[in-house]
């Protein structure tokens, strides 16, 4: 069963990859279930750890309040979760999980119910490279069609390898959209070394 916080990402991957829940049946296995698509997405996930939220103050009844925080541009768009489900967490400077907030991913915004007095908060989440996942989905669709051939019977002409060629082209197109793959490496051995 796919995680609840993955629903929007799975839906978008279905759209990008033109993948219905039961498009293919190969040797009794149905493709493309939510679990199969979640597995593809998980291969292209990375953690977003302790990225500082941008605070926004406004006036309420003549008093400055800080209730709204925004995700900075450095946080990728494709995050797991929603206001109530998933891997999205807001923490304070000590790592304590905040409470009393709602999360609006579409607006990249965190809203607290009460004034936070400018307190610093960080986001912890899981992001997904949807372009790379879409490229893999199209590659897998092509591999399911690799054995197909063109055939003609009377006036009927079926060019099944066109499906294969189209899937390969789509895989390349989405891989091109993905750009460079970034990896953050942290060295943790120097603090304990004795020189």
pLDDT band at 192 (very low <50, low <70, confident <90, very high): very low
Evaluate whether residue 136 is within a structural domain. Answer: no
- For the entire predicted model, the pTM comes to 0.72
The domain tally of the chain equals 1
- CB-CB contact of 160 with 148 (8 Å): yes
Evaluate whether residue 85 is within a structural domain. Answer: yes
Q: Which residues of 5-36 are buried (b: 16+ CB within 10 A; e: fewer)?
A: bbbbbbebbbebbebeeeeeeeeeeebbbbeb
pLDDT, tens digit, 9 for 90 and up, residues 119-175: 999 999 888 999 999 999 989 888 877 665 566 666 766 566 677 777 888 888 888
Evaluate whether residue 21 is within a structural domain. Answer: no
Closest CA to 76 of 129, 3, 145, 139: 129
- CB-CB contact of 133 with 13 (8 Å): yes
Range of the domain at 116: 46-128
Evaluate whether residue 104 is within a structural domain. Answer: yes
Evaluate whether residue 116 is within a structural domain. Answer: yes
Pick the residue with more confidence: 161 or 65? 65
Evaluate whether residue 1 is within a structural domain. Answer: no
pLDDT, tens digit, 9 for 90 and up, residues 76-110: 888 887 555 557 889 999 999 999 999 888 888 99
Evaluate whether residue 155 is within a structural domain. Answer: no
Evaluate whether residue 95 is within a structural domain. Answer: yes
Residue 193 has pLDDT above 50, yes or no: no
């Amino acid at each position: 069963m796919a995680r609840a916080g993955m629903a929007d990402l799975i839906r978008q991957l279905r759209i990008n990859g033109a993948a219905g829940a039961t498009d293919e049946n190969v040797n009794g296995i149905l493709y493309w279930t939510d679990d199969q698509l979640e597995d593809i997405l998980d291969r292209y996930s990375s953690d977003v750890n302790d990225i500082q939220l941008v605070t926004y103050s406004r006036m309420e009844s003549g008093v400055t309040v800080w209730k709204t925080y925004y995700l900075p541009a450095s946080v990728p768009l494709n995050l797991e979760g929603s206001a109530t489900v998933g891997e999205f967490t807001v923490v304070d400077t000590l790592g304590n999980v905040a409470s009393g907030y709602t999360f609006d991913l579409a607006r990249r915004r965190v809203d607290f119910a009460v004034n936070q007095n400018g307190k610093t908060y960080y986001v912890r989440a899981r992001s997904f490279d949807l372009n790379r996942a879409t490229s893999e989905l199209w590659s897998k669709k092509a591999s399911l069609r690799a054995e197909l051939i063109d055939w003609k019977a009377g006036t009927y002409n079926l060019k099944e390898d066109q499906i294969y060629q189209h899937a390969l082209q789509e895989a390349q197109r989405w891989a091109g959209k993905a750009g460079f793959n970034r990896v953050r490496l942290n060295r943790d051995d120097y603090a304990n070394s004795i020189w």
